[in-house]
Amino acid sequence: MKNSTLIKLNTENIDEAVEYTAKVLLAGGIAVIPTETVYGIAAPINNSQGIIDIFKAKGRPSDNPLIVHISNKNQIKKIVTYINPLSEKLIEAFFPGPLTIIFDAKKELDRRITAGLDTVAIRMPENKFTLKLIDKIGPIAAPSANISGKPSGTTIDDIIEELNGRVDIFIDDGNALHGIESTVINPLVQPPQILRKGSITKENIEKVIGNVSFPEKFSSTISPGTRYKHYAPSVETTYLKKIEHIDSFNIILSDLAKTRKLGIISFGTPIEIFNENIILKDLSPDPKIATKKLFNTLRELDRIVEEIIILPLPDYSDLWLSIDDRLERGANKVINSF
Ligand code: TXA
Ligand code: MG
């Protein structure tokens, strides 16, 4: 068990917090740090103890690689063998921000970070504290702050509940701005492939580099992380992608609610149910707001209900596709049409 310290950031203490976190990380510790997407668990890329402890803290399989976080573009050259013209464009357009780019890694880079691969995932987060921290101690490796398989941590309370005693420091910088992880793109193949859908959409990327693709099936050999169960609440979770028979749906719902507490997640089209066993969480018809609340709502319902039912998204394009991806992975049951 580690003795975890909590630091709540304010306008006055940021430099002091950076100073303290830097000292702990350089000595082999690990820290939960804020980014604009979700919180991460960080260690310097050249501190093997810290890297090992990140995998331990998350219970993460050692064959699932971590993302390296940088604070300025010059740091990329020290980690990768070559920056191709497409990557140059992506860096120019999206750094700092929620895009992670795959490069060929120099052989000096610790292969624990890349899970043995000769490629490395790099991004520049847009968070003042974390950029200052990296300026001070150099690039850090940071996966999302959650136990492996659970929804990513977007509020410090959710993260403390899960990781208390497993990390040295928690930095609280409020609710994560985007609430969904970065988009991962591989520009080493033609056409470039989006390996993980995220905050930046296919449309956003295509405006900058032209045609990009999704892998045929989000195959495990291409992005190791997509092979594992992810974003999953502990209680039974059903994702309904389309409801055609709303009347029979309502009847089944009332029936279920006779014997168990149900949590319903909707996206701007709340259903009319009046039953004390049903807790309705209407996120938003705006995908930017819905992503912000999604993981926190799943965690909240997971604590208080026996079953979660997720209603159809208003749309299956653009940023909604990233939400759809997380729900498909997190649910035990996906029903395409009811
Ligand atoms: O928004 C984010 O990206 C957050 C914050 C903390 O920055 N981080 C994050 O890290 O989501 P993590 O470890 O939970 O997810 C990293 C994803 C995994 O799906 C992993 O397989 C993929 O990136 N990845 C990492 N290195 C890779 C590589 N060399 N090739 C292909 N995929 C890679
Ligand atoms: Mg993760």
- Of the pLDDT bands very low, low, confident and very high (cuts 50, 70, 90), residue 275 is confident
Partnered with residue 236 across adjacent β-strands are 307
According to the model, what pLDDT value does residue 173 have? 98
Residue 227 pLDDT > 70: no
Q: Which atom of ligand 1 is nearest to the CA of 117?
A: 29
User: What proportion of the chain, given as a percentage, has pLDDT over 90?
Assistant: 84
pTM (2 d.p.): 0.93
Q: Is the CB of 21 under 6 A from ligand 1?
A: no
Alpha carbons 330 and 7: distance in angstroms, whole number? 31
Q: How far are the Cα atoms of 15, 50, 64, 69, 311 from residue 141, in angstroms, in the given order?
A: 21, 9, 13, 6, 36
Ligand nearest to the CA of 151: 2
List the single range of 167-181, 188-202, 204-218, 265-279 with lowest mean pLDDT. 265-279
Region of 324 (left: φ > 0; alpha: ψ -120 to 50; beta: rest) is: alpha
Per-residue pLDDT tens for 44-69?
Answer: 999 999 999 999 999 999 999 999 99
Query: Does residue 112 carry a pLDDT above 80?
Result: yes
In this predicted structure, what is the pLDDT of residue 262? 95
Average of per-residue pLDDT across 118-123:
98
Mean pLDDT of 120-142: 98
Q: Is the CB of 120 under 6 A from ligand 1?
A: yes
Q: Is the pLDDT of residue 271 over 70?
A: yes
The finding on whether 154 has its CB within 6 A of some atom of ligand 1 is: no
pLDDT band at 231 (very low <50, low <70, confident <90, very high): confident
Question: What residue's CA is closest to ligand 1, atom 33?
Answer: 223
pLDDT tens for each residue of 80-94? 999 999 999 999 999
Q: What is the mean pLDDT of the chain?
A: 93
For residue 261, what are its two tokens? Answer: 């507490």
Distance CA 44, CA 36 (A): 19
**Closest atom of ligand 1 to CA, residue 60:** 13
What spacing in Å lies between the alpha carbon of 317 and ligand 1's midpoint?
Answer: 22
Is residue 35 within 6 Å of ligand 1 at its C-beta? yes
Verify whether ligand 1 is closer than 6 Å to residue 291 (CB atom).
no
Ligand 1: which residue has its CA nearest to atom 6?
40
pLDDT tens string 232-249:
889 999 999 998 888 888
Over residues 124-144, the mean pLDDT reads 98
* Position 229 confidence tier, pLDDT thresholds 50, 70, 90: low
Tell me which of 55, 100, 124, 131 to substitute to probe ligand 1's pocket, judged by most ligand atoms within 8 Å of the beta carbon.
100
Segment among 100-104, 142-146, 160-164, 333-337 with least mean pLDDT: 333-337
Quote the percentage of the chain above a pLDDT of 70. Answer: 96
pLDDT at residue 191 in the model? 96
**Exposure string for 210-228, b = 16+ CB within 10 A, e = fewer:** eebeeeeebeeebbbbbee
pLDDT score recorded for residue 220: 46
Q: Residue 143 C-alpha to ligand 2 middle, in angstroms?
A: 6
Q: Is the CB of 101 under 6 A from ligand 1?
A: no
